[in-house]
Amino acid sequence: MDGVQPGGDLPPEPDPDRELSEGLRAGLVRYLMADGELGDPRWRAAFTEVPRELFVPAYFVGVPGGYRRRSREDPDPADHDAWLTGAYADEPLATYVRDGELISSSSQPSLMAKMLAALDVEDGHTVLEIGAGTGYNAALLAHRLGERAVTTVDLDPEITEGAREHLAAAGFHPAVVTGDGALGCPERAPFDRILATCALTSVPPAWLAQCRPGGLILAPLATGLIALRVRDATHAEGRFLRTSAFFVPLRGAAPQPVPHSGGLPCRLLQSDRFRFLLSLTAGRLGAADALALWRDEDGPPRERFGVTVAGDRQWAWLDSPDGPWRWPLGEPVSPGGA
């Protein structure tokens, strides 16, 4: 007999989006693999099995003069399908806009895949994520490592509440903490990996103290991704990855001054790599010195640059921490971050 059994529960309602969602997920995974991502089958399984739409029940798309909201609750079938299809585009999705300012977003899936691969996790590792966002990244980490191994923190209680709800809807219950991301999460430390999904001007000292020796901190800095190997509670060093990265700033971080670029050739200002150099050296090297570095070193790519943290000193460098091209990073991040 179909339907309700005597004394039983109502059968679950069919999910009208399930077939389309599974197809879109499979398509995204194929796209990422064709682009050289998801070489590890465990990350491939995470992207295949975690439904991204559960983490973006609503998001905003840019329109002239502002944003337009797309939602799972859109009554028009075409708008509803546009919401679901957009959830699987290889694009960042603005999820939290306050007074016209973007506060939180879901990162571009291909960038997430790059960052998760670069995190180089192993079974048994624990991870602290700075910037909870929608919870999708924490879900991918929980799928790979187990939910007890994952902690995600954000300053805004609205964001952490939403992330917690989204994660529960997907069947995951990692630790979701409302707090200052610049201070890490000392009550759950130490961690093997710390992953920031918000842009920095310098590295918060608390992160080194909460990362095990030999651990890794991966964070957006300037318009790149720095991978720092932690030596001890006050020392870390590493190089930038090749890829570019643009994230919402860590709230509480001092704004990074932008050097005057007047007089620089337009073709240079259109170069992603040169803009990275300007951002990394902002306020520390003048535009003329940045141009001299660029020309003397034949337009160096991101991966030739690195960062050293030694006690209360932090500096960026080209090729070598003690080479001729080096400069201090911005002011340390103050409390009040993500």
Q: For the chain, how far is it from start to end, CA to CA, in angstroms?
A: 54
Report d(CA 188, CA 316) in Å as an integer.
30
3-class secondary structure, 306 = strand
* Dihedral (CA of 159, 165, 170, 171) sign: positive
Q: How far is CA 241 from CA 69, 123, 165, 235, 305, in A?
A: 34, 23, 33, 20, 9
* Among the listed residues 173, 174, 199, the one whose alpha carbon sits nearest the alpha carbon of residue 107: 199
- In degrees and rounded to multiples of 5, residue 61 shows phi and psi of -115, 145
Strand partners, 310: 235, 313
Which amino acid, residue 162? G
3-class secondary structure, 79 = helix
Neighbours of 230 (CB within 10 A): 27
Q: Which residues contact 155 (CB under 8 A, 6 or more apart)?
A: 178, 179, 180, 181, 251, 252, 336, 337, 338
* Among the listed residues 70, 101, 104, the one whose alpha carbon sits nearest the alpha carbon of residue 87: 70
* Among the listed residues 56, 59, 54, 130, the one whose alpha carbon sits nearest the alpha carbon of residue 97: 59
Q: Which residues does the annotation mark as catalytic?
A: 104
- In degrees and rounded to multiples of 5, residue 22 shows phi and psi of -60, -40
